Amino acid sequence: MKILVTGGAGFIGSNVVDAMIDAGLEVVVVDDLSTGREENVNPKAKLYKVDIRGPQLEEVFERERPDYVDHHAAQISVRLSVQEPMKDAQINVLGSLNVIECCRKYNVKNLIYISTGGAVYGEPVYLPCDENHPVVPICHYGATKHTPEHYLHIYRYLYGLNYVVLRYPNVYGPRQDPLGEAGVVAIFIGQMLRGEQVIINGSGEQERDFVYVGDCVRANLLALDRGDGEIYNIGCGQGTSVNEIYARLKKITGYALEAKYGPPKPGETFRIYLDASKAERELGWQPTVSLDEGLRRTVDFFRT
C-alpha cells in the first residue's frame, strides 16, 4: 500500500513518514521545503519538491496513485496568520482544497487531515474541549485550519471520499524547529542550549495541551483504516502553563538565566486543553509519553 504525506519534510510529518515506512507502507513525500528540511526525509521515501497550491501536485497524484493521503502541509504560525492572512488562507484553505480535489480525482481510499485543537475552539466555553465544543477561532490560523473540515464533509457527501480529521494539541519533540515562529518547547530548548535569553510572551500563565510527537504519530497510524468521516481531538486532557514548561526545561538543561517577559502574541488562546476520550474509545488512542519524559527526549535530541 502507498501513502502520500504532504509536509513530510517537516517536524511532525517526517516523524509520520518514518512510522509509515516502519509499518510497511510505501511512502511518497510532497513538500516545498519552505519550512521542512530535506535531511528530515527518510531515505526510503520518495520526495517531490512541490507546493500543494500548484498544478504540479496533480502530476504527483497521477504518477504515484497513492492509496492513502496524510495531509500535514500547512502554514502553522498564529503570528504570521495574523500578519499575512492572505498567505495563510492560500496555503491552508486553497492548498488543502487542492489536496482534497486530487484525492477525489484519483480515488484515494482515505485522507487523514491534520487540523488544530489548539486554535479552532478559540477561548473555551468549558474545559477540556471535546469535539462538540463550539468552533469560534480568534485567529486566522484557527479559521483556515477549520475550513477544510467543511470541504471534507462536502466531498464525503457528494463523492464518497473517506476521511479522518485529527485535531492536534501543542505537539513537541525531535525535529521541531528551535528557530521557528511556533513551538515554545523547541524555541526554549534552543535558547537555553545556546545560552541565550529566554523571552516568555505574556504572563506565562497561559496553558496548553502538550503531547509528544510520537504519540501524535501513533494517532495517524490508527486512523489509516478507522474513523471514516469523524473528527478526533488528540490531547492529554490537561493544561500546562508556559511558565511550567520553562521551569522544567531549565532544570533539565541546567540553564542559568532567568526568563524575561515580553508582550503577548495577538490571536493566541489563553487556556486550552482537549478531551480525547473519543479517540481513545474509537481509535484506541491515548498518550503514553509523560511530559517530563518527552521533554528529556527532546532536549537529548537537540543536544546531539
- 199 phi/psi in degrees, rounded to 5: -110, 125
Tell me if 7 sits within 8 A of 70, measured CB to CB.
no
- 137 phi/psi in degrees, rounded to 5: -60, 150
| For the chain, domain boundaries | 2-171+211-235, 173-207+238-273+289-303
- pLDDT band of 267, cuts 50, 70, 90: confident
- pLDDT band of 24, cuts 50, 70, 90: very high
30-72: per-residue pLDDT in tens?
999 999 999 999 999 999 999 999 999 999 999 999 999 999 9
> Is the sign of the CA dihedral 66, 69, 71, 72 positive or negative?
negative
87-144: per-residue pLDDT in tens?
999 999 999 999 999 999 999 999 999 999 999 999 999 999 999 999 999 999 999 9
Which homologous superfamily does the CATH classification assign to the domain defined by 173-207+238-273+289-303? UDP-galactose 4-epimerase, domain 1 (3.90.25.10)
Q: Is the pLDDT of residue 250 over 70?
A: yes
Q: What is the mean pLDDT of the chain?
A: 96
What residues are labeled active site?
141
Quick one: pLDDT at residue 117? 96
Quick one: pLDDT at residue 268? 85
Tell me if 234 sits within 8 A of 211, measured CB to CB.
yes
Q: CB neighbours (10 Å) of residue 183?
A: 21
Quick one: pLDDT at residue 124? 97
DSSP letter at 94 equals I
Element at 249 (helix H, strand E)? helix 242-253
Beta bridge partners, 163, equal 111
pTM: 0.96
Strands 163-168 and 207-208, bridge-based pairing: unpaired
Indicate if 173-207+238-273+289-303 has the same CATH topology as 2-171+211-235.
no
Q: Is the pLDDT of residue 168 over 80?
A: yes
Q: Is the pLDDT of residue 180 over 80?
A: no
Residue range 213-238: mean pLDDT, rounded: 97
Q: Please tell me whether the peptide bond between 66 and the residue prior to it is cis, using omega within 30 degrees of 0.
A: no
Residue range 195-215: mean pLDDT, rounded: 97
Class of domain 2-171+211-235: alpha beta
Element at 300 (helix H, strand E)? helix 291-303
